[in-house]
Structures are given as structure tokens and as C-alpha cells.
A and B are shown apart, each in its own frame.
Chain A
Amino acid sequence: MRQLQQLAGFLRRRRGSVSVEFALVSVFFLGPLFGGGADFVVIMAAQAQLRTAVQALDYFAWTNPGEANNLKDAKLIIGLINQHSDYQITLPATLSAGGANGALSFSCFTPPATANTTPTSPSPATCPSTQTQLTLVTYQVTTNVFLPAPLPGIFPSQLSVTSTVQIR
């Protein structure tokens, strides 16, 4: 009975309420906010590196269109980047959307192309003589990031960037 009275007295008292409120706000609001901010920065830096890496692959494909679908050659570019990068970037064998990484795709369109041109996607060398064939290559690079405050289901620990560029 006395313990209940003490508890009731404790609950009625208002001294130190600011400190209690501040502690609650810190734990449930400021803490996760700063943790999320730190995760955001790590992910942003990793995404910047991934975008730069996939852009390097795009330039390689433009410069060596005959080797664009040779993943062993593309790995040279990624290997050179990994020698100096904080993130270990990998070229998965298959794209997350399906298909091989570095695979070529083809499209036909009737020139001149406009913003409303919708290319068809045939196999190579089947475009009619009145149409022009596009050759495109798709690359995907991935990396794993260590998040300082991992929030399950919100921030992924594996990031990937995909690009498709025309090489011919």
C-alpha cells in the first residue's frame, strides 16, 4: 500500500519533467534522426562512387564497342577503380532485372529519330533496310556498404547502379 502511495506521489511530481521529456525526445527522435543522417551520407557517398564506376564502364564501351560485352575486359576497369576506392565494386554475372551483365540489346528505328520514336527490339541484323539499328549495352555494378546505424527494411546494405548506353 505504501509502495503504491509512493508510486502515485512519484507520478504526480512535475520536477525534472523537462529532463524526462528531453531524454524521450533524444532517444526516440534525435537519435534515430542522426543515425539515419549518418546512413544517408554513407549511402550517398557509395552511390556517387557507383555512378562514377558505371560511367567509366560506359566510356570503355564507347571506346571499345567490340569488347563492350566482354565482361572480363570490363572487369579491368572495375579492378583499376577498386585499387583506389574505399568500396569494393563487383560486376555480377546477371542483372537484377534478368539477363547477363554486359549483354548487348538491339533496336530498330526509322530515322530521323524524334522524341516520340519507339524502337522495336529485334535480334541483330534483322532491321529492314529503311531502318537503323541501335546496339546498346547494359552494365550493373554493386557494392556492399557498412551502415553506422542500420535500419532494417529502410536502407539496404547492398547498393547497385545500372546503366544502358548506345554503343553503335
Chain B
Amino acid sequence: MARHSDQMSASPRDQKPRLSTGFSVTARSFAQARQAAAAVEFAICGSALLLFIFGIVNLGLLGMSVSALARGVQSAARAAAVDTSAKFANAGAFTCPTAGTIVTDFNNAAGPALPGAGSADGSNPHLTITWTDNGTSSIEGDPPGLYLTLTASYQWSPIGFSGLFPSIPLSITTVATVMGSQNQASACANSNS
């Protein structure tokens, strides 16, 4: 670098004013120069344009994640409710799918748009599985039956902006109704661990 600055100052044009106000004269001549102005303008506008393009790409990825999250939740909850309904029709008692089965159904439906989900704390996406068993309730507003509430939460991070923006929390919840009702206390275990 020292050798480079020597070469720069070797120009007779730069040497003379450097004795008194060298820095200000060099800065002024730099500001007045028009060489490579297009490159400087492109550097300014190009970085903004690149930011803009990455923003648009991330909007698309975010939309894809939301869509996959909704698809996964709807499919997994529906599969769990249909499976439980079919077993109730055959055996007359509720036999609910395990958390692992629901997670597998979610991952199959969501596809590669999301990383592999889990029901354990810290997994991302995280599935919260809650069964509500109203038994043979005859209370209005509290209808009988078994209901699965499935929530998928996902901390979405934009690509290309790591550390610049915090992750965005996405969440989709659905309720699937199981066909059949029976007073069967704690028919299915809630699982978020």
C-alpha cells in the first residue's frame, strides 16, 4: 500500500499542493473528476436495486412458506380427524394418531417449501397438538365430540439479510372435528413436547 501511495503522489500535479493543503486539493480534484462516474452511479443504484430484488424474492419465499404452512396444517389435521373417526367407527372408542404421525403428515403435505417440522420445543416449524374432548355434552355452544386443534408456528428468516432483520413469526391454526362422541376421559393426549 505504501508503494502504491508513493506512485500516486509521484504525479507532478499532486506533488506541488501537497506541501501545504495537499489533502483538500486532492479531494477537490477527485470530486471534480468525471472518470468512472457511471461506475460510481451504478454502485449506488445497483446496491439499491440488488436490495430491491432480494426483497421481492423474499416476499415470494414468504408467501410460499405461508401457503405451505396452511396446506400442511389443513392436511395433517384432516388426516388425523379422518383416521380417528374411522377407528371410532370400527372400535367404538377413540384411538388418536401419535404426535409423530401428525408431524409426518404435516411434513408430507408442506413439502420442500418448509424445513422438517417437529412437536418438540425448539423445533422450527413447531406443531402444537391439542385435543378437546367434549364427550357426549348436550350443552349448547359446547357441542359433543372430539376436536383436534393443530397450530403450526414458523420463525421465517429472509435470505440474504441474515442479521439485518429479525425473523418473522408465522402461525396457522385449524380445528378438525372427529366424527363420533363418547364419554372417554382423556381420549387423546395433548402433545407439544
> For the side of the interface on A, what is the size category?
35 or more
Closest to A30 in B: B52
A22→B44 contact, CB < 8 A: yes
The segment from B19-27, B107-115, B116-124, B136-144 that touches chain A is: B136-144
A56 at the interface (CB under 8 A from B): yes
Q: Which residues of A contact B56 (CB under 8 A)?
A: 37
B44→A41 contact, CB < 8 A: no
Least distance between A155 CB and chain B CB atoms (Å) = 15
Given contacts A26-B48, A45-B66, A63-B177, contact A84 B149 (CB under 8 A): yes
Q: Which residues of A contact B69 (CB under 8 A)?
A: 48
Closest to A86 in B: B171
Contact partner of B74 among A52, A64, A67, A76, CB < 8 A? A52
Interface SS majority for chain A: helix
B67→A48 contact, CB < 8 A: yes
A45→B177 contact, CB < 8 A: no
Closest to B181 in A: A64
Least distance between B180 CB and chain A CB atoms (Å) = 9
B175→A48 contact, CB < 8 A: no
Q: Which residues of A contact B178 (CB under 8 A)?
A: 63
B141→A73 contact, CB < 8 A: yes
Complex CA gap A137/B152 in Å reads 28
User: Hey, what's the 0/1 contact readout for B137-160 against A, CB within 8 Å counting as 1?
Assistant: 000111101010101000000000
> For the side of the interface on B, what is the size category?
35 or more
Closest to B168 in A: A41
A75 at the interface (CB under 8 A from B): yes
Complex CA gap A37/B51 in Å reads 14
Interface residues of B in 150-189 (CB under 8 A from A): 151, 169-179
A59→B78 contact, CB < 8 A: yes
B140→A72 contact, CB < 8 A: yes
Given contacts A18-B41, A51-B70, contact A56 B143 (CB under 8 A): no
Least distance between A49 CB and chain B CB atoms (Å) = 6
Complex CA gap A18/B40 in Å reads 10
Can you spell out 22 A-B residue pairs with CB atoms less than 8 angstroms apart? A22-B44, A22-B48, A26-B48, A30-B48, A40-B59, A41-B59, A48-B67, A48-B69, A51-B70, A63-B145, A67-B143, A70-B140, A73-B140, A73-B142, A75-B141, A76-B143, A77-B147, A81-B175, A83-B149, A84-B130, A85-B172, A85-B173
Residues of B in contact with A (beta carbons under 8 Å apart)? 41, 44-45, 48, 52, 55-56, 59, 62-63, 66-67, 69-70, 73-74, 78, 81, 85, 128, 130, 132, 140-143, 145, 147, 149, 151, 169-179
* Sample of 7 further A-B pairs with CB below 8 A, known A56-B175, A86-B171: A41-B62, A51-B70, A63-B85, A63-B178, A73-B140, A80-B175, A84-B149
